[in-house]
Amino acid sequence: MTSSTNSQTQNILITPLSNPFENGKIPNPKKLPRPIVFLSGTTNHHKDETRWQQVLTDYLFTTSSSSTSTSTDSLIACTPVISHPPLTIIDPYNPDWDSTWREDQLNDKFVTQVDFEIECLEVADVVVVGFVGRDVREGKIGVGGSSLVELGVVLGRGKGEGLEGKKVIVCVESGFWKEGYVRVLCERFGEGVSCVGSLEGLMGVLGREVGGWGLGDGDEEGRCVIMGMGGISG
């Protein structure tokens, strides 16, 4: 997988460590293969647990129906059945994040990471906010806090600032400490907002959206927003 933005004929994976980024900005996002999929969500920190973002990336980048994408902790084993043009995936996970990063507006590295994630929310065609992982299922308090904020940002902008007509798909596994709140919020926004309860369900919905990209009502600006929790600290 590559982070180059020079071609629209191959899959592109962009992370906070990718070369194209300048102070949290994506230069020339219009030159990226579309759709642009942003994977915002909880980070699986357990060594025996594959990050769900990686599972989803493997799934989308595997177009052969004879190949299987499987996570090490058996979260999901799925045979891709979709075929689609090249796309761009943005994964906000930053392996450089450690205890020295203060969540402070005076901390340049922290501010750059936040700017990166907000920028991705703005340029993405598909934003995946997913509350997925062992900590989520075990109901640990505080997990996915930053992603709750990002969910609010995307839904709020859908009320009048550039995300009108976008589809929001939230994945929240059973046990999440704010599961009820998330589900009520999704129902509140009604049409255009869906909520699934498993990674398998998310993969199915996202696969259909990506596979059908550009086959809708002919509106090039139509966007799908799928969210996953916790890019900054889970």
Going by the DSSP 8-state scheme, the letter that residue 31 receives in this structure is G
What does the pLDDT profile of the chain (234 residues) look like in tens digits? 344 444 556 788 888 887 656 666 777 788 888 888 889 999 887 888 899 999 999 888 874 233 333 333 333 333 344 456 788 999 999 888 888 888 999 999 899 899 989 888 888 888 899 999 999 999 999 999 999 999 988 887 665 444 455 677 899 999 999 999 999 998 888 766 789 999 999 999 888 888 877 655 434 444 445 554 444 445
Which region holds residue 224: left if phi is over 0, alpha if psi is between -120 and 50, else beta?
Answer: beta
Please give the Cα distance from 13 to 137 (Å, whole number): 28
Between the alpha carbon of residue 26 and those of residues 4, 128, 137, 151, the distances in Å are 12, 18, 34, 21
For residue 185, what are the β-bridge partners?
none
Main-chain phi, psi angles of 128, to 5 degrees: -100, 115
Give the pLDDT score at 127: 85
- For the domain 12-96+106-213+223-227, what is the CATH code? 3.40.50.450
Between the alpha carbon of residue 150 and those of residues 69, 84, 109, 122, 225, the distances in Å are 28, 28, 19, 11, 12
Nearest to 82 by CA among 217, 214, 202, 210: 210
Spatial neighbors of 191 by CB under 8 A, at least 6 apart, are: none
The domain spans of the chain are: 12-96+106-213+223-227
Give tens-digit pLDDT for 24-42.
677 778 888 888 888 999 9
